[in-house]
Amino acid sequence: MVVRIGVIGIGSMGTGHANYLLNGEIKNAELTCVCDIEQNKVNTFCKNHPEIKGYLNYEDLIGSGEADAVIIAVPHYLHPIIATYALRHNMHVIVEKPVGIYAENVAEMNKAAEESGKVFSSMFCVRTDPYFRKIKKLVQSGELGGIKRVNWIATDWYRPQAYHNSSAWRSSWKGEGGGVLVNQSPHNLDLIQWIFGLPESVTATAEFGKYYDIEVDDEATAILKYPTFSCVYIASTGETPGTNRLEISADMGKLVLEGGQIRFFRNVQSEREYNRNNKDVMDKPEFWECTVPPLKGQMKHQNITQNFVNAILFGEPLIAPGADGIHEVELANAIYVSAWTEQKVTLPLDPARFSELLNEKIKASKKG
């Protein structure tokens, strides 16, 4: 059996998904149709690939009978709207990240997925990265001991003004729903909750149009408070060369991911045990440094799509269940609310609070 897939939205991301399907990179799957509201995009794509049917309306594609599943790669606000419609019309669905902006819409999408019984996945492909998979394994196995602190500096998301000017809806509250937190950070925020879970509270600051002529966030700093440790997350699109460094301080030492390498500064004995027994007022545990090999594999979008097809055909467990996406949305929403109100926010967040504040931004928006 072959899963027939349609791609809704053929901008840069959607075209990328369509191309690897056309190239035969996904076993037991084929691209059969595409959709975009811009007719010139559809015309050009179908001219180059006459065997593929093109549509200007997602409802027409979903109702055509040409596809068993869809990949949704459209502006963020539309993700849960189109996904909900597709699920309720008997389609399997992959939705691009972020899965939405408003948590209420995402919750409705998740309900539709549960009721449909269809396979529902999200394009959190960085979960397949062999380095992050190894880190998750180390953390959750207890090999690092108790976590003391997590720092993640992610400032290598540089985007010039030309990027922000590339579309009328980009980098606006009305058109996109945010900046670095909803465009560049979803993978990072998903990994934080995937590895460590959701925090109890968030205290955050953000800068809006600090580096560019935009109204949305181009820098954010968040302190995520867990029961026994805190995680500091820093993101920016205005620095070059930027930094991407994840540091985990734990009872058994310090783990650092940077520059495509995991380094473990491993204590000879746990800090807690050393502290109980040591009598020297200035001494500290000895440690040794080692490089931790990643797990096998390579991070790419195709991993999520192949897993999705395997789930449809063979019941393979999903790497990134679509329902998980709401956790990343809630985390991003909490950071925004804390930054806007200059207050600590506890989780779970009341989704109406975020919606109210975002709607105020949209009402005042001059773009999108």
| 113 shares a domain with 67 | yes
pLDDT mean over 150-171: 95
| 207 shares a domain with 168 | yes
pLDDT mean over 6-20: 98
Name which residue leads in pLDDT, 284 or 140: 140
Residue 368: predicted pLDDT? 56
| 117 shares a domain with 148 | no
Residue 278: predicted pLDDT? 84
| 183 shares a domain with 92 | no
Residue 367: predicted pLDDT? 73
The count of domains in the chain is 2
HSE value, Cβ hemisphere, 13 Å, CA-based, for 302 = 16
Residue 115: predicted pLDDT? 99
pLDDT mean over 67-74: 99
The two three-digit tokens of residue 78, written as one number: 């539309």
| 334 shares a domain with 198 | yes
Under the banding of pLDDT at 50, 70 and 90, the label for residue 283 is: confident
pTM of the model: 0.96
Under the banding of pLDDT at 50, 70 and 90, the label for residue 366 is: confident
Q: Residue 158's domain spans which residues?
A: 130-297+328-364
What does the DSSP 8-state code read for residue 321?
B
| 135 shares a domain with 16 | no
Q: pLDDT (tens digit, 9 = 90+) per residue, 214-254?
A: 999 999 999 999 999 999 999 999 999 999 999 999 999 99
Distances from the Cα of 332 to the Cα of 39, 57, 109, 337, angstroms:
33, 30, 18, 9
CATH number of the structural domain spanning residue 312: 3.40.50.720
Torsion of CA 122, 126, 127, 128, to 10 degrees: 110
Q: Is 280 exposed, middle or buried (CB count within 10 Å of its CB: 0-12, 13-18, 19+)?
A: exposed
CATH number of the structural domain spanning residue 203: 3.30.360.10
Name the strand (E) or helix (H) holding 182.
Answer: helix 180-183
| 339 shares a domain with 308 | no
pLDDT mean over 312-334: 99
| 291 shares a domain with 304 | no
| 110 shares a domain with 30 | yes
Residue 233 in contact with residue 157, Cβ under 8 Å? Answer: no
How many C-beta atoms surround the C-beta of residue 26 within 10 A?
22
**CA–CA gap between residue 53 and residue 61 (Å, rounded):** 9
Q: What is the maximum span of the chain, computed from C-alpha positions, in angstroms?
A: 78
Nearby residues of 49 by Cβ (< 8 Å), 6 or more positions away? 22
| 188 shares a domain with 106 | no
Q: pLDDT (tens digit, 9 = 90+) per residue, 28-51?
A: 999 999 999 999 999 999 999 999
| 287 shares a domain with 150 | yes
Residue 279: predicted pLDDT? 81
| 99 shares a domain with 57 | yes
What average pLDDT is seen over the chain?
A: 97
